[in-house]
Structures are given as structure tokens and as C-alpha cells.
Amino acid sequence: MVLVSKYLVPKGYVGMTVFPFILLKDYRLKKDRVLMNHERIHLRQQLELLIIPFYVFYVLEFVIRLIRKRNWRLAYSSISFEKEAYSNEKSLDYLKSRPFWSFIKYL
């Protein structure tokens, strides 16, 4: 389910996924197939890790990367879940053939 609200999405971002919702800053973003694919990849990741563990690993990995890199953007872009989503967001059929736990290869 897609929800649109400029107040729910953090500043500096246009979308985010909080299972089972894809949150977008603007209605026009619903038509952005690459962004929607990116967020759907996150939905799949969250399901694979049974939702709560996904958030635990996501935050833990972000904190570790932030300590190492000392830069918010670099830490964010180094998270394995984000690496997988960004690497495959333009492949609109990616989820049809995505292997289980494929984010592991991005660690």
C-alpha cells in the first residue's frame, strides 16, 4: 500500500518503506517506476527477515557504518540493503528472479 505525506518521509528523502507501506513525499512519485521498484525491493527484504529483524540489522549496520565513515550519506549508501536496492532498482523485473537473501552479497 502506498501512502503519500510530506510529513512522514524524513527531510532529504523522497520515499521510504515501513512494512507494509511505501511512504512517498509527493503523489507524482507513484509514477516513478524506478523509485517504486527500489521501495518494493525493501519490502521483499523486510519480509525475508520477518520485518522486525530487518529494522534491527538496518539500524545496526547504519550505526557501524556511520562510526567508520563519519558521514551520514556515505553510511546510508553503504548499508547492504540499500546497496542491493540501488544496484537493482532500474531492473524492473528484478523481483521476479531475485534469490532469497540476496542482500548478503552486498555486505
pLDDT digits (tens, 9 = 90+) for 16-57: 999 999 999 999 999 999 999 999 999 999 999 999 999 999
Q: Tell me which residue has cell 556515505.
A: 74
- Close Cβ partners of 84 (under 8 Å, ≥ 6 residues apart): 41, 45, 102, 103, 105, 106
DSSP 51: S
**Mean pLDDT in the chain?**
96
Cis peptide before 53 (omega within 30 of 0): no
pLDDT at 95 over 90: yes
Distance, in Å, from the CA atom of 72 to the CA atom of 78, rounded to the nearest integer, reads 10
Query: Which pLDDT score, from 0 to 100, does residue 2 have?
Result: 97
Domain boundaries along the sequence of the chain: 32-106
pLDDT at 107 over 90: no
Percent of the chain residues topping a pLDDT of 90? 93
Q: Judging by beta carbons within 10 Å of its beta carbon (0-12, 13-18, 19+), is residue 40 exposed, middle or buried?
A: middle
